[in-house]
Amino acid sequence: MSDQSNLALEQASTEAATLREQLNHHNYSYYSLDAPQISDGQYDQLLRRLETLEKLFPVLCSADSPTQRVGSAPLALFESVQHAVPMLSLANAFDDDELRDFERRLQTRLDDDSAITFVCEPKLDGVAVSLLYHDGVLVQGATRGDGFQGENITANVRTIKSIPLKLQGQGFPPVLEVRGEIYLPRAGFEAINAQALARGEKPFVNPRNAAAGSLRQLDSRITATRPLEMCAYSLGLAEGGNLPATHLATMSCLKAWGFLTNSLMEAVVGIEACVVYYQRLAELRPGLAYDIDGIVYKVDSFTLQETLGFVARAPRWAIARKFPAEEASTRLLDVEFQVGRTGAITPVARLEPVFVGGVTVSNATLHNEDEVQRLGLRLGDQVVVRRAGDVIPQIARVLPRLDDSLNAIANNQLKDIVFPIICPACGSELQRSEDQAVLRCTGGLVCGAQRKEAIKHFASRKALDIDGLGDKIIDQLVDAELIDTVADLFTLRVEQLSELERMASKSASNLVAAIATSRQTTLPRLLFGLGIREVGETTAKLLATHFGSLQKLQEADAETLLAVPDVGPVVAAFVEQFFSNHHHLSIIANLREAGVEWPDIQALDTQTLPLAGQVWVLTGTLASMSRGQAKAQLEALGAKVTGSVSAKTTCLVAGESAGSKLTKARSLEVKVLDEAELLVLLQGTA
């Protein structure tokens, strides 16, 4: 390179560095401080000049350049990311009393009844993400996923202008992970829906779905067209540097480093001040520029946070106070009966569409025949539908029927809900056990609906997690007789998939690649995915841990299976029956032949666990975790958790509103622990 060329590059490099600094500063002023210092036109002029320099001298283009927000070439699929520090969920409070109980638990654990300083902040209704910075430069963006493992969406988060590509100022740690919520402001949501309608496309149902869909675009150029924002709310990994001693001060640092933080966040002293904050935000909620579904309260002091620690999948020092579930009235038009993977017949209510909880609802679960009778439900009834967050909509109650003579005709038009006597999918006989409320199809693999549901379960996130293999694709594959069992998924070819409705060649290639990736799985995931009746995610992990290999589990008889925590006579019988079925063994052999691998794991002698041989019972409401989570933790320690108190019960855990089980335990002189004592036990034996 000539001296003249070197001089030109040096001058361009100096100018590009100045432009990047100016553009990053103006991004910070606009998004973090909400105080723009130049017009949009002036900003665009600076950006175009930088783009010109980077085209003339490609060596100047860096990952932290503001020009990199336009998106890049499409990806084949998202890579998996392991979170160095788990992204835990939060316990929930649904009323003021539960919030007060939260403070009492903290004071008990701290052995100090002094008022605690909390940081209150709106709970944005968006998508949680993790942003990793090395020496102030963004190197990775990831979804929360299951809290331990997410998806690499770096190309997509780079397009979001409120996310700094390079941190402002100084004092940040060399390695810094920032966590926050990516969301779509209401104005942006309305704008992209207006654009979709103008193009004749289907609009998004709510801002949260729009944000989630935008982040899961394999083509980041599409993400770049969506007016997404990111609000920082905490730190994850931080290595080096000196951080403040409190959460609120740390959030101030994040704002100084270039992040958008919520202007309504504030510190208060004592839980009653938290209650007042909740009431104030509930009034402000309708007028906010973004959707919120509650308030998050965090202990401000990091020292106290460390002392309080964690339980299950949530910190003890934080809680979310949810806004009430939203309800709306509509009319029940019909009831359809769906067939599940185990043959269970589930009634599904078809409703006049009604907007509730941020989405338009036209279906609701009815669970079983007993639930229909409990509600006193008839076709044509006016009903109240309830939906909170991502919870499946349900019919809460039937509105009173009109009883005057003028409305007699309307009432006579109501019809009873008649449950089927044969399977709606295959015509096989339905059976109902005396001790269960569920009707089941006896058709087994003859029933196409059961095959479809079994394959959907196998491909689901907690099983083999086959990205892109949705329900409609599986329906088409079974209907076209391209697959009959889960093993057939691994024989699918691009040309076969390309013939499916709405499946282009590139989508088919991506799906084949995702299926290939899923060949590498784990023993617990495989066991869960096989769909053994009554074997959920927790039991699958316990079986895998106890036996260590699929071969040893297949050889186990009912008596051996009963030694596994959480496995009683019913589950043991189902497991033994499953592995005695030649068809099931053939499927497992075909999975192996197709290259699916699930390495053996270190078997654990459950008899040596701290609570081995003990029988525990849970009753009442637990505030820091669900009863299901408590059960899983006790079983992981070797305890057998049952639903009734007897002379064989070792201990009863009594939560709030404990009833007859607590009375019986005391009469039998069974040991009783409250929730605080349970948490101490779990922490001490972890």
What residues are labeled active site? Answer: 123
Task: Give the whole-angstrom CA distance, residue 261 versus residue 308.
Answer: 25
SS (HEC) of 592-653:
HHCCCECCCCCCCCHHHCCCCCCEEEEECECCCCCHHHHHHHHHHCCCEEECCCCCCCCEEE
What region does 548 belong to: left with phi over 0, alpha with psi -120 to 50, or beta? left
Q: What is the C-alpha to C-alpha distance for residues 383 and 334, in angstroms, rounded to an integer?
A: 12
Give the C-alpha separation, 361 to 129, whole Å. Answer: 28
Q: What is the CA 673 to chain-centroid distance, rounded?
A: 31
Would you say 168 and 258 are in contact if contact means Cβ atoms under 8 Å apart?
A: yes
First to last CA, the chain: 64
Ramachandran sector of residue 38 (left: φ over 0; alpha: ψ -120 to 50; beta: rest): beta
The token duo for 95 is: 């009323």
Helix (H, G, I), strand (E, B) or coil at 573: helix
Would you give the DSSP letter of residue 31? I
Number of helices (H) and strands (E), helices first, in the chain?
25, 24
- Sheet holding 137-143: strands in order across? 137-143, 127-134, 175-183, 229-239
Residue type present at position 318: A
The region that residue 274 occupies, defined by phi over 0 for left and psi between -120 and 50 for alpha, beta otherwise, is: alpha
Q: Are 535 and 586 in contact (CB under 8 A)?
A: no
For residues 682 and 311, what is the distance between their CA atoms, to the nearest angstrom?
8
Residue type for position 316: R
How many Å apart are CA 118 and CA 180, to the nearest integer? 19
* C-alpha to C-alpha distance for 239 and 250, rounded to whole angstroms: 15
Q: Cβ distance 93 to 322 under 8 Å?
A: yes
Rounded Cα distance, 327 and 222, in Å: 34
Q: Which of 615, 621, 679, 611 is nearest to 645 (CA)?
A: 615
The backbone torsions φ and ψ at residue 217, rounded to the nearest 5 degrees and listed phi first, read -80, 125
d(CA 251, CA 179) in angstroms, rounded, equals: 11
DSSP state of 325: P
- The 10 Å Cβ neighbour count of residue 190 is 13
Tokens encoding 452: 């479809």
In DSSP notation, 75-124 reads PSSPPEEE-SS-----EEE-SHHHHHHHHHHHHHHHT--SPPEEEEEEEE
> How far apart are the C-alpha atoms of 430 and 413, rounded to whole Å?
29
